[in-house]
Structure 1
Amino acid sequence: MTRFDASWVGRLTGNEMRVLSKISDYIYTSGRCFAADGTIAAHLGLSRGGVNRILAGLEDRELNGEGMVRSVFHPRTGTMERWVKHPAPDALAVCVSGYSRDQLPGTRFAVYCYLSLRQMLPDPTPIRRIAADCSLSEATARDAVADLVASGWLTRYGAAGCAFRYTVHPAPVAGIAAYLADPTPTSSVTGPPHESVTSAPPGSVIQTGPLDQALVIRQEVVVGGCSRVAATSVPRDAGTREPDRAPAARPGRGRGSAGRTDVNPGRRPWPAGGRLPQDVQQALHPVAALWSRVRPGARAVVVAAARSELNRISVWSGTEHASEVLRERLGQRLENQERSARVTDPVGWLLRRGLPQRVECPRPSCDGGIRLDTGGDCETCRMRVADRRSVRRILAAEIAAERPDADRDERRDLFERRLQDWTGQRARWRAAALQLRHNDDLRRAEVLAERRARERVAAAARQAVACEGCGAANSCGLCPVCSGRRVAKEAIVACVDHAIAGNADLDNPAEIVEWARRTRAELRDRMLSARAPGAHYLIATASDQLVAQHAADEFRVAALRILGRHPAADREADQAREACLRAAHHYPDRRAAVTAADNAGACARRRAAEYLLAERLQRVEVYRRGGPTAAVQPAPTVTGQS
């Protein structure tokens, strides 16, 4: 339950009344209000900057000769203390539920408060009077009343074509979105009327239980007030009825989609003219009323902007959730704008305010301090705010230490000047850092351009070198044919070396010659059988290269298999197996120990075979370079022969 002066209605906006009444509730509870702007904004569904601007504007305004709100900054704790004047017990006051204040946006809350004063009077309340007393246009007032009735905050009744009477409810009630005198409502509320509503006789009043107001508004004479009505008695003898269901959840900003309703439920269906992509249509659903006012020639621009924003959102949210995120953003922006009737330029609002993301920090998923991917507060923005507050605390502490005898106004002026100097110095530092970064980027670009130029010159020089084998021009020193032949020759040498190292007795020259001849003959046969009949010499060269490379791997595996049966390899395997069996007590059972011993023996055998192969290949290399025999010299490759 919140209670504030009735003179606020019509002189303050809805959001200003919400913020002041929230501060008044804090003062009524604890006597003092130290709530931060972010705390108030979180309760009211506003942004921290919006609350800060509202309070800054109210500090300089007066009502009935007194200031609207007073603020005192405590430099030691870094907190702000605020006071708001409470209405007198016998003064005319607005008494509404705190739930309505926290859930309803500005314009709807202003109309809701005004009608809470008018509901006790027997006279009907026309839209023109609502607009005049609340300082709104008639279209805005009509939309606000229709939204309140459609969402169950109001019940209106009376004859069709005449002014209606209204009854406010502390929470949205099911079955209220209908006109009691006219069973076919003119609003866009979908679904059949509620049974209890349609069965009520014309002119009857259905009370929905504003019992919290009945506890405060007594049966007495009301004098004056913004309703401009003479002294009138206020009867409260009508019955009450409990709501049919729990209050509907108000759409939150970035807090997930569970329990969320549309920003404008059941009003203005999507215009049928023109076909839009499915994701764009889903994203623009909250602004269907604005879309109907967009000129056909400008719709392509809006669709292109929506598509660009969807692509930007899909980078961090995924394609399947991008339309939902953009839809929630547009709904919240339109809610802060206090419905579409306040938008005079739909195209400009969509392109400049509705669709773009509010970039306040480097995090791509942050929008106005809220992370759209998780729905929580942005850690980066919180740290930025903490940094700014710490600077203000430091400056305030310095001023208090230097000028302890200064009054509040002098300290404020000195604080503003120092904060301005600090902000200017920080801006200069940032500009200097950006200039240094720009200079570094230019220097790196120059270095990169020079390096690429040198690389192009070196590549051109390498390209101009003739082939070493056949002398072909512009071959980078080796043409493809000669390169293939060289690779094939190296593979043939590797095959011969592995065959000799694995099978021949290196102390017997005749056996070395025999294994070299046998290996060369086997490779020649493989190469000739792999060639296609009548193949081009380039294709034949590539085929010989592949055959030689595959054969080199096969000969190496065969050599390792043969050397794995060498007595030295057997000894290494036995020693490793015995060492593992001696540690059998570390294993759960005998079978596991034997398995581990066999694996250790196999690993030791493989390592011994690789060591023996490397040692024998070194001896073969010595023979080739002028050892006891020249028999291991490879024969000319058959590459290129047809």
Structure 2
Amino acid sequence: MRSRRQVLEDWLREYAAAEAEDFVWRREQVLAEQARREMARSASRERGERECQEAAAADAVREALPCEDCGQGRSAGLCEACRYRRRTEGLIVEAGLVAASWSAVLDDADDVAAVTAYVRASLGAAIASARQEFFRLMDPGELDADPVAAASALAFAELQAVQQALPEYRRSALGWLGRTEEAAAEARRAYAIEQNRRWFRANPTGVDAVAAATKAADAARVRTAQYLLTVRLEQLREQTAVRHEAAGPASGRWAERLPELAARPVDGDPAEAVIA
């Protein structure tokens, strides 16, 4: 009969052999995983390099394209000056729609067209003024030295002229839309709700109650005007095809009507309107 010592030694040898076999297997697995990861990294590097090369080739082809609008060579399809001009055109269209949102009959295409044409003419005057100021400030030698840069600078100056005018169109639209029945109704509702709050019920006409109600009415009026402007602009964009060609001159009726409307004050006391 084998002694306990021999049994223990046999078990230890078997255990050591199993551990060695397991170690070899695990080592092989680690090496295989490292090789797999290295292959994946290598493939990723190669793919990245290939994509960079393809992108560089595409960029080179694109850079060689002439400008779609003016034909200037190597302009990546659109030169800087024409990019500014396109943005200017987009803002002119937007300003026309903003003006039409409150001053035109939205379902009347001719009425909307007359308003947008008038706005285009007005902004055209602002652009002409910006152009004159640009040439007044620029030295003729600078214009001749780098005509491409000069054209870009001029187009940017024209864009700025329109950008500066657009907020006033929006302000006028919001002011007039804030006087619509929808806005007035929302203002009255907000005013009444605020006055009916528990802490103002005892004295709804007190100074604090009126101030809080007026603030709530003003906020409701502004929110409604903004909502109406958004909805009306969406409607106009759906109804009106955005055209990039210059529109015709505004009709005489609108040439007279818009300045008159714009001259009217749009800022009043909302509290007076609500209380009345």
Above 0.5 in TM-score?
yes
Q: Tell which deviates more after alignment, 504-513 or 598-607.
A: 504-513
CA distance in 1, matches of 2:29, 2:210: 72
Matches within 5 A, 1:370-409: 407-409=7-9
Alignment partner of 1:568 out of 182, 187, 198: 182
1:481 equivalent in structure 2: 81
Listed as ranges, the matches of 1:325-474 within 5 Å are 407-474=7-74
* Separation in structure 1 between the aligned mates of residue 187 and residue 42 of structure 2, nearest angstrom: 64
User: In the alignment, is residue 512 of structure 1 matched against residue 115 of structure 2?
Assistant: yes
**Residue deviations 1:588-608 (CA, integer Å, cap 9, x gap):** x44999887666544433332
The 2-side partners of 1:408 and 1:600 are apart by: 90
1:486 deviates by: 1.8
- How far apart are 1:569 and its partner, in Å? 1.0
Aligned residues: 224
Change (3 A) 1:452 1:624: closer
Shift, 1:426, TM fit: 1.6
Q: 1:576 to 1:522 in 2, by over 3 A?
A: farther
Counterpart CA distance in 2 for 1:428 and 1:514 is 78
Among all aligned residue pairs of Structure 1 and Structure 2, give the percentage whose two residues are the same amino acid. 24
| Residue 439 (structure 1) shift | 1.2
Q: 5 Å matches for 1:105-184?
A: none
C-alpha contact (below 8 Å) 1:467/1:479 kept by paired residues: yes
Q: Distance in 2 between matches of 1:412 and 1:482?
A: 84
Residue type of the partner of 1:516? V
CA contact 2:126–2:162 (8 Å) conserved in 1: yes
Distance 1:420 1:597 in 2: 85
**Cα drift, residue 564 of structure 1:** 1.8
Q: Return the TM-score normalized by structure 1.
A: 0.30
**One-letter code of the match for 1:537?**
A
Tell which deviates more after alignment, 439-448 or 573-582: 573-582
Q: Find the aligned partners of 2:173 and 2:80 in 1 and give their Cα distance.
A: 32
Alignment partner of 2:72: what SS? coil
Unpaired runs of 5+ residues, structure 2, are 139-149, 202-207, 252-276
Q: What is the alpha-carbon distance in structure 2 between the residues aligned to residue 632 and residue 614 of structure 1?
A: 25
The structure with the largest alpha-carbon Rg is 1
Q: Against the structure 1 CA distance between its residues 417 and 590, is the aligned structure 2 distance closer, same or farther, given a 3 Å change threshold?
A: farther
**Partners of 1:594 and 1:428 in 2: CA distance:** 83
RMSD of equivalent CA atoms: 3.9
What's the secondary structure of 2:136's corresponding residue? coil
With the length of structure 2 as denominator, give the TM-score of the two structures: 0.64
Cα deviation code 1:490-519 (max 9, x no counterpart): 222222332333445656949737853663
Partner residue of 1:490 out of 67, 90, 96: 90
In 2, distance between residues paired with 1:483 and 1:566? 38
> Structure 1 residues 433 and 620, CA, compared in 2 at 3 Å: closer, same or farther?
closer
Alignment of 1:63-78 (within 5 A): none
1:15-41: per-residue Cα shift (whole Å, max 9, x none)? xxxxxxxxxxxxxxxxxxxxxxxxxxx
- Higher-strand-fraction structure: 1
Cα deviation 1:247-280 (Å, max 9, x = unaligned): xxxxxxxxxxxxxxxxxxxxxxxxxxxxxxxxxx
8 Å contact kept, 1:577–1:600: yes
Aligned twin of 2:130: 527
Which consecutive unaligned segments of at least 5 residues does structure 1 have? 1-403, 634-642
Tell me how far apart the structure 1 counterparts of residues 62 and 250 of structure 2 sit (CA, whole Å): 35
- Residue 92 of structure 2 contacts residue 119 of structure 2 at CA under 8 Å; is this kept in 1? no
Residue 533 of structure 1 aligns to a residue in which SS?
A: helix
What CA deviation, in whole Å up to 9, does each residue of 1:501-545 have, x standing for no partner? Answer: 344565694973785366335523652465251533332221111
Query: In 2 relative to 1, CA 596–412 (structure 1 residues): closer, same or farther, beyond 3 Å?
Result: farther
8 A Cα contact 1:516 1:631, kept in partner: no
CA–CA distance in 1 between the matches of 2:7 and 2:180? 100
CA positional deviation for 1:434: 0.7
Distance 1:554 1:496, change over 3 A: same
Separation in structure 2 between the aligned mates of residue 632 and residue 405 of structure 1, nearest angstrom: 113
Contact 1:624 1:630 in 2 (8 A): no
